[in-house]
Amino acid sequence: MFGFGDRKKYNGSVDIKLNNEYQIATRDNPSFPGMLAYLELIDNAWQAKMSQDEAALYIATLYYCGILKLNLRAESDTLLSRINSIVAFGLPKGLISQARWSKFSAAIQQANHDAGI
């Protein structure tokens, strides 16, 4: 049970960031992954030793790519604006590493390219 409290806090913090900062409904949202897939994403972030901010950005990036594929352009445009604002704040403060942002932004650029944006 060592570290279980830390993990529970991490999961909760990532969920709060997604809901409040990114304004992504993680429950009762047909476009968002199911609970098991969502927990697997958080688990991947935890295992990769992402900060809570990076984990939220990671999941928001994947969500962005997904809703763009679904052609939910208004929602994806709004989310991309939030992502850019959060990165502009978090990157210089060290909340998000440049290396992680480079990977996430490459995924966003690829999704935009695939969507013809």
Is the Cβ–Cβ distance between 57 and 100 less than 8 Å?
Answer: yes
Is the Cβ–Cβ distance between 51 and 62 less than 8 Å?
Answer: no
Confidence of residue 1 (pLDDT cuts 50, 70, 90): very low
- Backbone angles phi and psi of 101, in degrees to 5: -60, -35
pLDDT in tens, 8-51: 999 999 999 999 999 999 999 999 999 999 999 999 999 999 99
State the pLDDT at residue 2: 45
List the chain domain ranges. Answer: 4-114
- Six-digit token pair at 72? 């939910």
Query: Which letter, b or e, does each residue of 37-47 get, where b requires 16 or more Cβ atoms within 10 Å of its Cβ?
Result: ebeebbeebbe
Instruction: Reply yes or no on whether the pLDDT at 55 is more than 90.
Output: yes
Is the pTM value of this prediction over 0.85? yes
The CB-based long-range contact list for 70-74 (8 Å cut-off, 24+ gap) reads 70/31, 71/115, 72/31
